[in-house]
Structures are given as structure tokens and as C-alpha cells.
Amino acid sequence: MSRQALPPVQRLLQNAMHYAVLLFIGTLCAFPMLWTLSTALSTEGNVFVFPPTLIPQGASLSNFVEVFRSIGIGRYYWNSVWITFWTVFWTLVVCSLAAYPLARLKFRGHKLVFGLIVGTMMLPTEVNFLVNFITLTQMKLVNTHLGVILPTIAGAIGIFMMKNAFEEVPQDLVDAARMDGASDFRIFWQLMLPLSLPQIGTLVILTTVTTWNNFLWPGVALTKSNLQPLAVGILELSGTFGSSTRVIAAGAVLTVLPALLVFFFSQRFFMRGMEGAVK
């Protein structure tokens, strides 16, 4: 029996069950962030009470004020913005330039090359840390923002997404451009990129959120406090306020808030781009 043929009451119960399951899953996913926000706003009560409460007790912004007063959070924000901007820029350049020949220039061994690139997605990021750090040491790029950016700009996910986006462009358009005398670079610049804007937007959002929240690699490559991004620099709160969980929670909220806002206001473009990437 199709869903439309069900009695109204049964259809209503089915919809209610679906929404209940979605609400339960959404609550599980959002609970850590909601608990952290509630802790950051609270000034009274036991932080670790069980079952935990999501309603702030003695709600105040004093914990956030204490974060700004205690550490140079403005400097950390600027470092995160600087690193994120250039990582996104060079990721777009490198991934799109690498994806175009894989998608449109059928050279000998292109399937093997693409298979090796995709194969790196199965390896954890931490596998590359030692080799990358030794390379940065030899290049004298330790404790530089360039040293944080360079190892992250040629990601397999970005190349995979852009390759799929370029393959969706109709071959007739490419053939027409070649008949008009367009070079490969002109086809890439004036045809491929404009027609792949949804996937490009998705890659921008994905790279922005990932880079902003990146903790491990910047923590390895940057040991000077004045160079560290927000995700790493916020650890100063653990030393200064080792017993103040509320202040640490306020710092965590300030760290993830920009990434959440970026994704919230751009999720529509993100989903459109992901649909094209999956196809």
C-alpha cells in the first residue's frame, strides 16, 4: 500500500514517528554544543550534575568577558582568519588545476593517478605529520603560517569534488569551445569554473570549517603563542583557569561560533554542491 493510500490517522502517526526520530537524532548531535553553551552562560550550580541541564543557572556573560580579559583572543582570531583565507584560496587553485586534466585530458595513466589520490582518503591525517614536520624543518617553515597552510592545500576530497564537477560539464560545450580556438586554460577559466560554482562553493565552505577548527596540525607546526590560531591558542584557558570549566566552555563557544555561523548561512549552497559532487 502506498503512503498516499494510508488512512489520514495512520499517515499522521507515521509522520509523527518520522519527526520524533529526526528530533531524537538532532538532539544527540546538538547536545554537546548546547551543554557547552549552557555551561558558558551559567554562573551557579554544579557543572557536572547528572542528568545534565541545558538551562543556564544565574545566566550571565561574565565568563565570555573573562576570556577576552585573560588571553589575547583578538590575535588568535586574526591568525585563524589569515590561515583560513589563504588555505581556502590555494586549495581552490591547486584542487581545480589538478582536477581539470583528470576530468578532461585522458592522458595515459590518469585512472591510476586518480586512484592513488582517492586512496589517500583512507589514511588518517596524522600519518603525514612526521614527514610534513621534517620537511618543514628542512625548509625552515616551522613556526610560520606558510608551514601550516602548505601541507593542507592539495586534499583528495577537493580534487575528487572538482573532478566530478568538471565531468558534469557537457562535452558539446567543450567541443564548441575548441572549435572556436579556445585553449585548455581558457576552457578551464571561462567554461569549467563558472559552470562549477555550486561545487566550488561547497569546497569553500568545507575547507573553511575544517581549517578553522583544525587543532592538531597547527599545534604541531606552531609553538609560538603569537602565531597560533584560535583552536590552539584557546588552550591557554586550561592553564590560567584550570578549575574554571565555565570559562573554558566560553572559550570553546567563541572558537566554534564562527564556523557554525558560516555553515548555518550557507548550508543551502553546501547541499546543492554536495548533490553535484555525489552525482
Better pLDDT: 254 or 241: 254
Residues 97 and 41 in one domain: no
Residue 189 burial by Cβ neighbours in a 10 Å radius (0-12, 13-18, 19+): middle
Residues 214 and 156 in one domain: yes
Residues 194 and 235 in one domain: yes
**pTM (global) more than 0.85:** no
Least reliable range by pLDDT among 187-196, 202-211, 233-242 = 233-242
DSSP notation for the chain: --STTS-HHHHHHHHHHHHHHHHHHHHHHHHHHHHHHHHHH--SS-TT-SS---SPSS--SHHHHHHHHHS-HHHHHHHHHHHHHHHHHHHHHHHHHHHHHHHH---TTHHHHHHHHHHGGGS-GGGGHHHHHHHHHHTT-TTSHHHHHGGGSS-HHHHHHHHHHHHTS-HHHHHHHHHTT--HHHHIIIIIHHHTHHHHHHHHHHHHHHHHH--HHHHHH--SGGG--HHHHTTHHHHHTTT-HHHHHHHHHHHHHHHHHHHHHHHHHHHHHHHHHH-
Residues 23 and 83 in one domain: no
Residues 130 and 256 in one domain: yes
Per-residue model confidence as pLDDT tens digits over 19-52: 889 888 988 888 888 888 888 888 877 777 777 7
Residues 42 and 144 in one domain: no
Residue range of the domain that includes 28: 8-60
Residues 143 and 194 in one domain: yes
Number of domains in the chain: 2
Residue 65 lies in a domain: no
The pLDDT of residue 137 is 92
Residues 234 and 266 in one domain: yes
Residues 18 and 134 in one domain: no
Residues 42 and 159 in one domain: no
**Residues 167-184: what's their mean pLDDT?**
88
Residue 2 lies in a domain: no
Residues 53 and 77 in one domain: no
Question: For the chain, how big is the Rg over CA atoms in Å?
Answer: 24
Residues 83 and 156 in one domain: yes
